[in-house]
Amino acid sequence: MTQPMIFREYWSPLWFVLIVPPQGELAATDWLRSKGVHEAWHPTEIVYVHARNPPHKRIPKIKPIATGYLFARLHQRPIWDFLFAQSRGKISDVMRIGERPVALADSDLMQMREVPERLRDIRAAAEEAKRIWPGDTVTILEGGMAGWQVTVDGVADGLVRFTAPGGWPVKIEEARVGKC
């Protein structure tokens, strides 16, 4: 018995957002490639995890940004029900508005491809905002001076230097103060 067709006639290529099981993007991509779909993409970023041995080594790992979504460019009109059935759970649905699958323009996909860079920039800006610089006003979080707001005179080797309200200079660890 032959399997039913999952694609009909050729059309102008369109991008669709396919819904896949979480962490199932690679399996769905491989299955689509076996069916003749060569353009499938899901947004990822590279994160570094610490190795157990040696303990200070960092290992790069590819992490999906939007788990459960796969962007595929289809050159033939799909028969959605047969596509889902033949994928055997690798693809469960397509992004829809009402009953109609949503096709994305190439410009929309180009914006999606910029997401990892934008996330990297946002995280870098957040880290920069946490850094303490001379002239910043900080609140002491721990110890006998907890709750004091002081102006930072200098930062060196992880130590924050400031002048206490009594006029004497103080050094305190950077991790123990927070920006106001």
Which is more confidently placed, 166 or 154?
154
Residue 97 scores a pLDDT above 60: yes
Residue 164 scores a pLDDT above 80: no
Q: Taking residues 39-48, report their average pLDDT.
A: 86
* The predicted structure's pLDDT at residue 170: 63
Three-state secondary structure along 20-81? CCCCCHHHHHHHHHHCCCCEEECCEEEEEEECCCCCCCEEEEEEECCCCEEEEEEEEEECHH
pLDDT level of residue 178 (50, 70, 90 thresholds): low
Residue 180 scores a pLDDT above 70: no
Residue 2 scores a pLDDT above 60: no
- Is the Cα torsion angle 111, 89, 22, 46 positive or negative in sign? negative
Helix (H) or strand (E) holding 13: strand 7-19
Residue 174 scores a pLDDT above 50: no
Q: Taking residues 149-176, report their average pLDDT.
A: 70
Percentage of residues in the chain having pLDDT higher than 70? 87
Contact 131, 177 (CB under 8 A): no
Q: Taking residues 62-89, report their average pLDDT.
A: 88
Nearest to 152 by CA among 130, 177, 125, 175: 177
Domains identified in the chain and CATH numbers: 7-129 (3.30.70), 132-179 (2.30.30.30)
* The predicted structure's pLDDT at residue 21: 93
Q: What is the distance between the alpha carbons of residues 150 and 166, in angstroms, rounded to a whole number?
A: 11
Contact 174, 132 (CB under 8 A): yes
CB-based contacts of 115: which residues, under 8 Å, 6+ apart? 43, 65
* The predicted structure's pLDDT at residue 4: 56
* The predicted structure's pLDDT at residue 1: 43
Which is more confidently placed, 39 or 139?
39
What's the chain's length in residues? Answer: 180
Report residue 130 as tokens.
């946490």
Nearest to 164 by CA among 177, 68, 47: 177
Q: Taking residues 135-154, report their average pLDDT.
A: 80
What is the pLDDT of the chain when averaged over all its residues? 81
